[in-house]
Chain A
């Protein structure tokens, strides 16, 4: 099948690559470009382990072909920490023990990080709804909700 030359901007770095049409965005990120943070845990858009940000929105990167994302601005978990310092959300995941095996974590962080950009004093139930597209089999979600809540509280406190 005809291969296609595409450009992906990942965490601010432009990459040019050649892909088969059927190459998923997550496959291009993981196997062609080495961004192995996003993981693949299912084929039915349920698990969310592959969540990245495309043009500012959290999406499941196993639910689109790489060629569809030609020219897109992509942000992955690898871009959250700056100069080796964990972002506040990552710190709160650590402090609140919001991860165990870590496989769902990159996707969970990208969903939560995107949600937090616009979130305004959400209830725990609203936080749970926000991360509904990310399955975690280890934590039972309680500490993940704690971590997201704590990040918000920390942000509020720093604005006061």
Chain B
């Protein structure tokens, strides 16, 4: 391997190094947004709609304004009249997309429970909350719709006048004719109708924002719970507030989980900032959990009909998918991309499927907006193909693992272009599948299952294969498909004059351990100790540009930018070393941080010594500028495609329908592993969220359009006793086009776990002729499927 690809010694890359970020988190010293107190801060609370859909006839704020400690009360009209652009933009255009104006506060009507109507700023958060009730809102209730199919099929008043039929977009991907032909030719067709319920992300830290408008300099500082501070800076500037981008500083301090929900530009942080600008004093807003449940973007909400054409030997000939995707009442930034390109393009799964067609109808509904939640689009797509594989196996009376194996894309076919318009970078699918099946003891389990069935016990074995598109890129392709942002990431890798290294990068951590893993990448490239490296994220004034953390992109795209920046720095250091050693650059070797002339290792300079020289500037090569740092913008040539196989073993309690999740085995291939401890942690957490979706979670609305699952005791985020110990393993198939061979792992396990667990439960219920159950599969679902009251 050439030197630039793989520096000599392991300096942490690949090691399970303990996290640099842990100590302040463990001692309570860490600073989250709500921990920050600024002198003179006023507190914001937002009056929200109790109605799912209603015209706003009057919003009378006078009584609230008269209350003690109330500083100001603002309505949507006040924001509109202030002359700010007042538009939260969508970040992905699709052909024919309807884009109604998404305002900071409602002006004409409210479109979902929780829609913001008015803002109260008061001296204390309690006083602000108290004043909310004094705002007199007169509504004229309108008929509402919360279901994406009903939304477009039923004659209801549109959520937005601009989309009379509630259709925001009607998206197609693939070759319909080829699919028709495949279905006509194939021996058999199997089908499944399924719902993927609406999920509520539930990051443990509720969203919050603290805005400080400096009247003298007309600069806005905004601390907020953000996965992508630069994106927020851009959208606040160009979309909602109109403040020049270079007069906005967005800071994401410690962020307590995101899972997608903290990607988006919500109205709330813009209102917080706008109020600070009106008042010239700091303003703080913090969501309660209940407020978060009706305002944090939800995920999923798909209703799908899917069909698969197979031959008797198990060869899959084609699939056909039609989905109604609920978008909620407004178009959040990636609401359009998630159920279209992030969904349809992954429907081939790990399989060589010659013909794929997918149609997605994006529907406005009177609900909280829906956007990307961990696994976004890929979760929904993999769920569809994996459910199809199970129903096809049932149709063919074939072992479901065997059917999957028969159709895997073979390793020599990579790069592999699917019929769903993407090119998979690399994969050893069968190796991961074998690893998983061997680990779990698949054949023995099938025997045990048969034995137990004789005793009236119901064991289920679920197998799911997944592939994920991670690190959305390249920018040009994304742009062709409608993206309003790029797919690159940027870094600055800087040697300080005393030899320490500062890495600045535009991704933003919410618990993933970037500071540690990114230091491992830089240490590897620069031959310095990880302890000498400090990684800085989450402050737009320190980090020049960036796109943030989402879509499993940080390790592959952010890490790629850091590796490339570090290599550039290393090459400049090499030139300086050559000058010092009075040798040609081509003769200088780099080994474990030391530069020396090839064949003469006795005389060498450490890269940290070179750094000192670079800043002294006393004796540099001619025409070389002082300093030792590099800014890198890395725009990958393609997505990366992590993959793997997960297996779950369940036993059903026939009397109550309860599901004992006995074992969970995950084999992930995320390419090169930077820090196995952190990768495993990502897998664990992802599995728990997938199990949550499969068995426990799922938002529901009542007939009045009110969220029924509106509190933490009404929506089952898995507790410690709801999930088993996890058994994890890995295979390593590097991404050939990524500078460090990594593929990403943030969403993989969530994508895999839901279909794995559903597959296991349905497998257990085979004797009851059950071939599919919708999530969440509750004990009642199982009990009913087994005959219930009969």
Q: Do A and B touch directly, given a CB cutoff of 8 Å in the complex?
A: yes
Complex contact B717–A90 (CB within 8 A): no
Complex contact A103–B256 (CB within 8 A): yes
CB contact list, A59-118 vs B, under 8 A: 76-78, 80-81, 86, 90, 93-95, 97, 99-106, 109
Given A100-B512, A137-B259, A140-B723: A78 touches B202 (CB 8 Å cut-off): no
Most B CB contacts (10 A, CB to CB) among A22, A93, A94 go to A94
Point out the residue from A36, A41, A109 that lies within 8 Å of B35, measured CB to CB.
Answer: A36
Complex contact B27–A47 (CB within 8 A): no
Q: How many whole Å from B663's CB to the nearest CB in chain A?
A: 13
The answer to whether the Cβ of A139 comes within 8 Å of any Cβ in the partner chain is yes
18 A–B contact pairs at CB < 8 A? A31-B37, A36-B35, A37-B29, A39-B204, A42-B712, A46-B712, A81-B26, A99-B26, A103-B254, A103-B256, A104-B204, A106-B28, A137-B685, A139-B684, A139-B688, A140-B726, A143-B684, A145-B725
The answer to whether the Cβ of B2 comes within 8 Å of any Cβ in the partner chain is no
Complex Cα distance, B24 from A101, in Å, reads 11
Which chain A residue shows the least CB distance to B202? A137
CB contact list, B3-48 vs A, under 8 A: 18-19, 21-32, 34-35, 37
The 10 closest A-B pairs by CB, nearest first: A37-B28, A101-B511, A103-B256, A102-B25, A140-B688, A100-B511, A140-B684, A77-B28, A46-B712, A42-B712
Which chain B residue shows the least CB distance to A20? B126
The answer to whether the Cβ of B744 comes within 8 Å of any Cβ in the partner chain is no
Complex contact B257–A101 (CB within 8 A): yes
Q: How many whole Å from A74's CB to the nearest CB in chain B?
A: 13
Complex contact A97–B25 (CB within 8 A): no
Give the number of chain B interface residues (Cβ < 8 Å).
Answer: 55
Complex contact B685–A138 (CB within 8 A): yes
Point out the residue from B25, B257, B721 that lies within 8 Å of A129, measured CB to CB.
Answer: B721
Given A44-B712, A142-B684: A102 touches B721 (CB 8 Å cut-off): no
CB contact list, B667-685 vs A, under 8 A: 677-678, 680-681, 684-685
Which chain B residue shows the least CB distance to A110? B28
The answer to whether the Cβ of B784 comes within 8 Å of any Cβ in the partner chain is no
Complex Cα distance, B468 from A144, in Å, reads 27
Complex Cα distance, B719 from A56, in Å, reads 24
Complex contact A140–B685 (CB within 8 A): yes
Which chain B residue shows the least CB distance to A84? B27
Complex contact B725–A124 (CB within 8 A): yes
Complex contact A131–B720 (CB within 8 A): yes
Q: How many whole Å from B30's CB to the nearest CB in chain A?
A: 6
Point out the residue from B30, B202, B288 that lies within 8 Å of A102, measured CB to CB.
Answer: B30
The answer to whether the Cβ of B405 comes within 8 Å of any Cβ in the partner chain is no
Which chain A residue shows the least CB distance to B290? A43
The answer to whether the Cβ of A152 comes within 8 Å of any Cβ in the partner chain is no
Complex contact A141–B720 (CB within 8 A): yes
Complex Cα distance, B726 from A97, in Å, reads 14
Complex contact A137–B26 (CB within 8 A): no
Which residues of A are in contact with B by a Cβ distance under 8 Å? 20, 22, 30-31, 35-47, 49, 76-78, 80-81, 86, 90, 93-95, 97, 99-106, 109, 124-125, 128-129, 131-132, 134-145
Complex contact A136–B725 (CB within 8 A): no
Complex contact B717–A135 (CB within 8 A): yes
Given A95-B18, A132-B720: A137 touches B203 (CB 8 Å cut-off): yes
Complex Cα distance, B719 from A14, in Å, reads 35
Complex contact A105–B26 (CB within 8 A): yes
Point out the residue from A31, A45, A93, A135 that lies within 8 Å of B719, measured CB to CB.
Answer: A135
The answer to whether the Cβ of B81 comes within 8 Å of any Cβ in the partner chain is no
Complex contact A137–B27 (CB within 8 A): no
Q: What residues of B have a CB within 8 angstroms of the CB of A46 in the complex?
A: 712-713, 717
Q: How many whole Å from A45's CB to the nearest CB in chain B?
A: 8
Q: What residues of A have a CB within 8 angstroms of the CB of B685 in the complex?
A: 100, 137-140
Q: What residues of A have a CB within 8 angstroms of the CB of B203 in the complex?
A: 101, 103, 137
CB contact list, B524-568 vs A, under 8 A: none
Complex contact B688–A80 (CB within 8 A): no
Point out the residue from A36, A43, A100 that lies within 8 Å of B681, measured CB to CB.
Answer: A100
Q: How many whole Å from A17's CB to the nearest CB in chain B?
A: 15
Q: What residues of A have a CB within 8 angstroms of the CB of B439 in the complex?
A: none
The answer to whether the Cβ of B711 comes within 8 Å of any Cβ in the partner chain is yes
The answer to whether the Cβ of B471 comes within 8 Å of any Cβ in the partner chain is no
Complex contact B26–A109 (CB within 8 A): yes
Complex Cα distance, B36 from A31, in Å, reads 10
Q: What residues of A have a CB within 8 angstroms of the CB of B626 in the complex?
A: none
Complex Cα distance, B256 from A36, in Å, reads 14
Q: What residues of A have a CB within 8 angstroms of the CB of B32 in the complex?
A: 36, 39, 103
Q: What residues of B have a CB within 8 angstroms of the CB of A145 in the complex?
A: 720, 725
Q: How many whole Å from A141's CB to the nearest CB in chain B?
A: 4
Which residues of B are in contact with A by a Cβ distance under 8 Å? 18-19, 21-32, 34-35, 37, 126, 202-206, 254-257, 259, 288-290, 510-513, 677-678, 680-681, 684-689, 711-713, 717, 719-721, 723, 725-726
Q: How many whole Å from A100's CB to the nearest CB in chain B?
A: 3
Q: How many whole Å from B157's CB to the nearest CB in chain A?
A: 34
Given A90-B26, A109-B26: A138 touches B712 (CB 8 Å cut-off): no
Point out the residue from A20, A44, A103, A132 that lies within 8 Å of B204, measured CB to CB.
Answer: A103
Q: Is the interface of A mostly helix, strand, loop or mixed?
A: loop
Q: How many whole Å from B114's CB to the nearest CB in chain A?
A: 16
Q: What residues of B have a CB within 8 angstroms of the CB of A77 in the complex?
A: 26-28
Given A46-B713, A94-B22, A101-B256: A35 touches B28 (CB 8 Å cut-off): yes
Given A86-B23, A94-B23, A140-B685: A41 touches B205 (CB 8 Å cut-off): yes
Q: How many whole Å from B661's CB to the nearest CB in chain A?
A: 12
Complex contact B28–A138 (CB within 8 A): no
Complex Cα distance, B23 from A46, in Å, reads 26
Q: How many whole Å from A87's CB to the nearest CB in chain B?
A: 9
Other than the given A41-B205, A80-B26, A137-B202, 14 more pairs (CB < 8 A) read A20-B126, A43-B289, A90-B26, A93-B26, A94-B22, A102-B254, A103-B32, A105-B25, A129-B720, A135-B712, A137-B688, A138-B685, A140-B685, A145-B725
Q: What residues of B have a CB within 8 angstroms of the CB of A39 in the complex?
A: 32, 34, 204-205, 256
Which chain B residue shows the least CB distance to A104? B204
Point out the residue from B29, B204, B510, B688 that lies within 8 Å of A141, measured CB to CB.
Answer: B688
Point out the residue from A42, A76, A141 that lies within 8 Å of B723, measured CB to CB.
Answer: A141
Which chain B residue shows the least CB distance to A87? B26
Which chain B residue shows the least CB distance to A49? B204
Q: How many whole Å from B236's CB to the nearest CB in chain A?
A: 24
Which chain B residue shows the least CB distance to A130? B720
Complex contact A137–B204 (CB within 8 A): yes
Point out the residue from B289, B511, B512 that lies within 8 Å of A41, measured CB to CB.
Answer: B289
Complex contact A143–B28 (CB within 8 A): no
Q: What residues of A have a CB within 8 angstroms of the CB of B26 in the complex?
A: 77, 80-81, 86, 90, 93-94, 99, 102, 105, 109
Which chain A residue shows the least CB distance to B286? A40
Complex Cα distance, B681 from A54, in Å, reads 32
Complex contact A97–B19 (CB within 8 A): yes
Complex Cα distance, B288 from A46, in Å, reads 13
Most B CB contacts (10 A, CB to CB) among A36, A44, A124 go to A36
Complex Cα distance, B225 from A39, in Å, reads 14
Complex Cα distance, B717 from A135, in Å, reads 8
Complex Cα distance, B26 from A136, in Å, reads 14
Q: How many whole Å from A110's CB to the nearest CB in chain B?
A: 10
Q: What residues of A have a CB within 8 angstroms of the CB of B202 in the complex?
A: 137
Complex Cα distance, B27 from A93, in Å, reads 11
Which chain B residue shows the least CB distance to A78? B28
Point out the residue from B35, B681, B712 that lies within 8 Å of A143, measured CB to CB.
Answer: B681
Which chain A residue shows the least CB distance to B691? A140
Complex contact A137–B712 (CB within 8 A): no
Q: What residues of B have a CB within 8 angstroms of the CB of A42 in the complex?
A: 289, 711-712
Which chain B residue shows the least CB distance to A36? B35
Complex contact B681–A97 (CB within 8 A): yes
Which chain B residue shows the least CB distance to A77? B28
Q: What residues of B have a CB within 8 angstroms of the CB of A36 in the complex?
A: 28, 31-32, 34-35
Complex Cα distance, B684 from A136, in Å, reads 12
Complex contact B28–A76 (CB within 8 A): yes
